[in-house]
Amino acid sequence: MNKVQERGTARHSATTIACAAVSLLLLSALATPAFAHEASGVAGGFVSGFLHPILGWDHVAAMVAVGLWGAFLGAPAIWLLPIVFPLVMAFGGALGIAGVPLPAVETGIAASAVVLGGMVALGARPPLWLAAVIVGAFAVLHGHAHGTELPAAADAVAYAVGFVTGTGLLHLTGITFGLATKWEGGKVAVRAAGGAIAVTGLAFLTGFA
């Protein structure tokens, strides 16, 4: 790749990151947690589900970390991890909607940011199957948290589609930023972002956030 092409790719990545970030900010500014919990019907269920991961910083941290880690590991992890997480999360969501209890869900969600962010920060490269198991284990907890907060009047299926879609957007944000690993300086930035996520998770875990 020549320098012109490299600069073009970098600009394209930066534009994609900016668009994703602006979209998240607009959604957060236009919606409130109260609306997310009072929505009804199919449309309301989708919007409520979509906003639930985006409005929860503990969810945001872990889900962006999944995308970052996938991009850091490269193919096939870059697409496998962001597929495993929402699929398993949907199962966890079904458990939550059905009222099936799971222990230490909130603690596990906070720990997910610590572990996943730490994996990126440390440049961990476990076998693909192990990375998928780690991601899937935390996905169950995130899904369960979404499921237990299904608004009473909302359509459950639309709500599930919504939180899976919102999660996918967060994964995409992480992946897009993670593509910076193609450049040496970008690798440092991505690992630093992983460290920041891990510290944020630690703050959630210890009650400082």
Q: pLDDT tens digits, residue range 34-46? A: 454 455 677 778 9
Res 25: pLDDT: 47
Q: Which parts of 31-76 fold into alpha helices (H)?
A: 33-38, 41-54, 57-73
Confidence of residue 27 (pLDDT cuts 50, 70, 90): low
Res 15: pLDDT: 54
136-180: per-residue pLDDT in tens? 999 999 999 999 998 888 888 999 999 999 999 999 999 999 988
Residue 99 DSSP one-character state: T
Residue 86: asked if its preceding bond is cis (omega within 30°), the reply is no
Residue 49 · residue 158 · CB < 8 Å: yes
pLDDT over 60 at 53, yes or no: yes
- Structural domain span for residue 173: 3-206
Spatial separation of the C-alpha atoms in residues 92 and 71, rounded to whole Å: 25
Per-residue pLDDT, averaged over 68-76, amounts to 94
pTM, two decimals, is 0.82
3-class state of residue 154 by DSSP = strand
pLDDT over 70 at 4, yes or no: no
Res 2: pLDDT: 53
Residue 149 DSSP one-character state: T
Confidence of residue 29 (pLDDT cuts 50, 70, 90): very low
Confidence of residue 20 (pLDDT cuts 50, 70, 90): low
Res 134: pLDDT: 98
Q: How many domains does the chain have?
A: 1
Give, rounded to a whole angstrom, the gap between the first and last alpha carbons of the chain.
Answer: 44
Confidence of residue 19 (pLDDT cuts 50, 70, 90): low
Spatial separation of the C-alpha atoms in residues 146 and 164, rounded to whole Å: 10
The first and second tokens of residue 191, run together, are: 């690992």
The first and second tokens of residue 124, run together, are: 């961990």
